[in-house]
Amino acid sequence: MGEWLRDAGAELDVRRPHAGDSLPENLTEHSGLVVLGGEMGAYDDALHPWLSDVKRLVQTASTGAEPVLGICLGLQLAAVALGGEVAPNSAGQQIGVLDVGWRTTAYDDPLLAVTARLPRSPAVQWNNDVVTRLPEGAELLAATPRGEIQAARLAPAVWGVQWHPEAGEEIIRPWAEHDRDAAVERGVDLERYVRDVADARAELRATWERLAVAFAGLCRAVPTRRTVGG
């Protein structure tokens, strides 16, 4: 994601709060915010106090013009920060290269229309938790056939996606090694999953680079010129 944003002209200010990096109080010195994923839960603030800082920043940013994009856990944190709810998926873990189920609301969305209007949008899914209730006023943009939320516009300039647009096989493979024992118990074929991600690499990159370019374009529309991702 950072590679695509830089290629689109963004200057990155990467913060790693899990490693002790501080977060800004607001986005007045930045043009946007990207919140990435993680294996912790959206309510694990007691174990990971920095989660509260991320949610506080998203809540503050939601009142401004700077665009915010949450990815996987980032979506869940943004949803909780703005009054929604997250829980383990009652249908079980979502894992695989799965198509995004766009709603018609996405076709004219300022950020996601560039991918929603493609013939298909395969995406890397790896999650246990999902957003079960959107914040008041949020707009659902994509969902699975079973109804799990895949993408939403949570506030006028706050978006979230449940999939991992940034994840190729080089990212998925270490996740698979880390989760191997648990995956065997669940009957998940991780080797096949990694192969599927590798086989879909060209289409995945072509699809989701569009998302990064669109996000960078929204950032350029605000007065400042820096983008912070964490």
**Backbone angles phi and psi of 95, in degrees to 5:** -150, 130
Q: Provide the token pair at 51.
A: 């989660």
Catalytic pick from 30, 72, 148, 219? 72
Catalytic pick from 148, 166, 169, 209? 166
Q: Provide the token pair at 223.
A: 């007065």
Give Cβ neighbours of residue 94 (< 8 Å, ≥ 6 apart): 125, 126, 127, 130, 144, 148, 162
**Backbone angles phi and psi of 51, in degrees to 5:** -60, -35
Q: Provide the token pair at 207.
A: 């699809």
Q: Is 166 a catalytic residue?
A: yes
Q: Is 164 a catalytic residue?
A: yes
Catalytic pick from 30, 148, 164, 169? 164
Q: Is 124 exposed, middle or buried (0-12, 13-18, 19+ CB in 10 A)?
A: buried
For the chain, report the end-to-end CA distance as a whole number of angstroms. 11
Counted residue by residue, the chain has a size of: 230
Alpha-carbon distance of 227 to 229, in angstroms, equals: 7
Q: Are 148 and 94 in contact (CB under 8 A)?
A: yes
Give Cβ neighbours of residue 7 (< 8 Å, ≥ 6 apart): none
Q: Are 131 and 76 in contact (CB under 8 A)?
A: yes
- Catalytically annotated residues: 72, 164, 166
